[in-house]
Structure 1
Amino acid sequence: MRLKILTVDDSKTVRIIVKKSFKGFDCEITEAQNGVEGLAMAAKVTPDIILLDITMPVMDGVEMLTKLKSDPALKAIPVIMLTAEAGRENVMKIAKIGVRDYIVKPFKENVLVDKVSRVVDLRPMGEAAPIQKKIDDPIDILVVDDKPAIISQITEGFGHTPWNVKGVASTGEAIDFCQKKLPDCIIISLSLPEDAAITLFRIIRSNAKTKYVPLFGLSVKTAVEEQARAQQAGFSTIIHKPIDFEELETKIGKAVNLDSSGKYFQMGEGFMTVRLPKTCNASVVNEVSSYLKDKTSEAVNAGISKIIFDAQNVASLNMDVIKLLLTSMKTCRDLSLKYALTGNQAVIEESKKFEESKDWKFCDTVENAKASI
């Protein structure tokens, strides 16, 4: 999967420089001229990283960054700010909102590439991509926390997966583990004594072997200052305690580039079934949407012409789910595919409250849905 970089800048010259800087890398550059366009493009393509100018017309970078961080589906995307203002006050302002790094204009191409490579895995063009693991493949997660209860909680939280969780209590133990076996993801408690989390982060990032391993910071939600320092240092994302394991699993899957389509898409007996989970928040909807086009093409190429959208497990129907289903049904109509919906009683009743879904017809089981088309 190609790396996606979104550059948001009102200067065409800067956008050209950004494109030129990454010409030798396996990445796709998308552009926007202001914050309004930037937000729309971010929602459309879900970039792996955003390069965001501060001073722009219509909507400036600070406002766009604020809106990004308040959007559940977009807040985890790392942002590097481009600014002509190197003053401490301006830097502190954007750091508090949640920026990963900043670059002062004018800048050299190698500086931009270096800053971006610290956050995402830049692969030279033509270099063979590793075989993508699936969400149900084993991966190794290293947890660095001096509280055994937290390590046990994370181990139990991933008990339903084939993922291997190894817990250590100190920086030294973490370094020893990484020398013996390279983990796929590292979760570090930000409350480790003597600023050990930041120290460990720098050691890991300075080592060629571990440089690109995703690093998650673990923190109590109210510890805003330690979270800001971790984000400024370059942590991939921050996980709040108490831990939402569904969210954590999704974030690890994205960071490790796991193919999670199997959670939602199944094919067989002439049908493709799209199963929506109980919790269908904006992040989940965004994840399903990212696979929809490719999986539909895969189904058509396999000779499948019937699709079931299964919402039987969905706890609550919201506008994000409705938009996803509307888009999916339009795709089916455009490709002359037959489709049917399933839903529980709560979903059926809630659908009647929205203008967009009030006339939808649901089947009560997947078997009945298949029989209906």
Structure 2
Amino acid sequence: MIRSVEHADGDVILPEGELGKGFCVLESGAIEVVKGDKVLSTIDAKGSVFGELSEILGIKRDVTIRAKGETVVRHVEENLEVIVMKNPKVAVKLIRTLGRRLNRMNEIAFGAMPAEPEATGGGESQQVKLLVVDDKPAIIQQLQDALAKNEWAVSGAAGEAEALAQCQSSTFNCILISMALPDDSAVTLRRKLKTTNNVMNTPVVGMIITGDEDAQSRAIEAGFAECITKPFDLIKTEAALYQVMNLDSSERYFDVQEDYLYFRLPNEFTNFIVNDIKENMESRIKNTINEGIMKIIIDTTSLEEMDEAAVEVVGDLAEALEKLPMEVAVIAEGEDGDMWNNLDGAEDWGICEDISECKEYFDRDPEEDEE
């Protein structure tokens, strides 16, 4: 069973002494890890996994997890073995989560950082935050513009000193560094970030000029998590960032709103996007059903043109939904709207002009359609 729960400030999400099942995912807000009267740590990064150790180790929880402010948590209450068999990506996410915790405990043991990390203030934004280090302002601006649609906060730094100053006062989900910085300062900066408390575990991505194999080799040797190329292929850049930050890429297309799953087709399709949507489609449908939501709105208005890839993706969705008791409405413009009903399994889908009309379609009396 998967359910999203809203918690008020101070609500106990997972109590100490309980034998856990499954795990939880932080959707918004923040949580505190508490032992007695002492707050051990605060977690506020959207998508953070917690509460899985109890089942993995077969022991009762030795801390309490409680909400800090208004918080929404997704509870995945299934046996972990079953979960990872259904979705291997969950296993990868859990492994990475446990690896980061082990690394942090090693650092604490060796005195590299304080046992109690500085908590994020309750009023601070829960946005994904990126730092772009490049001495070319146009590059920083390009990424700020390109990633704005994800509501990610992108800060810029012109060089090593400015980047270190920002990292000493703030935390980031990912840091991008140009390998073309003068005096090989990209490698120097990467080395210094490894000992900067706020970002020592933050993934660092190298930005290299297409075809610069030497820069890529230096980045790999210096411990960069990934490399992206300039000029940017924005689709590949975005995909790489989702991967290194261990974020759910399906959020770019699927979003639960009110009492329906909203599926927005991208304005263009590449092989990566087609495969990304297909890989996440089944799990998103299952999660939606588990949450008791039985309506889907497919928004095609972003499509620049009706191409085979779009038809293929929607056709696969129609096939997946054909035997499920779900209502589907499509937002489509122009004369091509009715063509979606020609897909196998989509004959009864509602074709609408906007979300309001979709809601009216869902609220209709099905018996009137039969008449």
TM-score range, shorter chain: 0.5 to 0.7
Note closer, same or farther for the CA distance 1:155–1:331 as it changes in structure 2 (3 Å cut): closer
Q: What are the superposed Cα offsets for residues 28-61 of structure 1, whole Å, 9 maximum, x if unpaired?
A: 9999xxxxxxxxxxxx956998xxxxxxxxxxxx
Per-residue CA distance 1:139-170 (angstroms, 9 max, x = gap) = 33222222233334434444555433332233
Cα distance in structure 2, aligned partners of 1:27 and 1:146: 48
- Equivalent in 251, 255, 276 of residue 265 of structure 2: 276
Which range moves more in the overlay, 341-350 or 171-180?
Answer: 341-350
| Native 8 Å contact 1:272 1:307 kept in 2 | yes
- Using the alignment, how far apart are the partners of 1:233 and 1:27 within structure 2? 36
One-letter code of the match for 1:199? Answer: T
C-alpha contact (below 8 Å) 1:332/1:338 kept by paired residues: no
Matched, 1:211 2:211: no
Report if aligned partners of 2:318, 2:345 keep a CA contact under 8 Å in 1: no
Which residue in the other structure is 2:69 paired with? none
- Do structure 1's residue 166 and structure 2's residue 181 form an aligned pair? no
Post-superposition offset of 1:253: 3.5
CA RMSD of aligned residues (A): 4.8
1:234 maps to which of 223, 246, 249 = 223
Is the CA contact 1:315–1:347 (under 8 Å) kept in the aligned structure 2? no
The corresponding residue for 1:185 is 174
Alpha-carbon separation, structure 1, partners of 2:150 and 2:242: 12
Distance 2:221 2:299 in 1: 41
Determine the structure 2 residue equivalent to 1:197. Answer: 186
Check if 1:122 corresponds to 2:99: yes
Which residue among 215, 220, 226 is the counterpart of 2:209? 220
Q: Which amino acid aligns with 2:316?
A: T
Classify the secondary structure of the residue corresponding to 1:122. helix
C-alpha distance in 2 between matches for 1:363 and 1:222 = 47
Report the CA distance shift for 1:177/1:272 in structure 2 as closer, same or farther (over 3 A): closer
TM-score, normalising length: structure 1 = 0.54
Determine the C-alpha separation between the residues in 1 that align with 2:151 and 2:337: 35
2:297 counterpart residue number: 308
After the TM superposition, which residues 93-172 of structure 1 pair with which residues of structure 2 at under 5 Å, given as runs? 122-123=99-100, 137-159=126-148, 162-172=151-161
How far apart, in 2, do the equivalents of 1:28 and 1:211 lie? 34
Residues of 1 paired with 2:257 and 2:297: CA distance? Answer: 11
1:209/1:229 CA distance change after superposition, 3 Å:
same
Q: Corresponding residue for 2:318?
A: 329
Q: Could you tell me how far apart the structure 1 residues matched to 2:292 and 2:91 are?
A: 33
Structure 1: how far apart are the matches of 2:252 and 2:189?
34
Q: CA deviation at 1:313?
A: 1.7
Select the structure that is richer in strand: 2
User: Percent of counterpart pairs with the same letter?
Assistant: 26
- Alignment correspondent of 2:71: none
Aligned to 2:351, which of 363, 368, 371?
363
Task: Please tell me the residue identity of whatever aligns with 1:365.
Answer: E
Q: CA deviation at 1:262?
A: 4.7
Q: Which amino acid aligns with 1:284?
A: I
Distance in 2, matches of 1:198 and 1:360, equals 58
Residue of structure 1 in register with 2:48 after alignment: none
Judge which range, 277-286 or 334-343, deviates more.
334-343
Map 1:338-353; keep pairs closer than 5 Å. 338-344=327-333
Q: Distance in 2 between matches of 1:225 and 1:202?
A: 18
How many residues are treated as equivalent by the alignment?
Answer: 267
Structure 2, unmatched stretches of 5+, are: 1-22, 25-55, 58-79, 105-124, 367-371
Shift of 1:198: 2.1
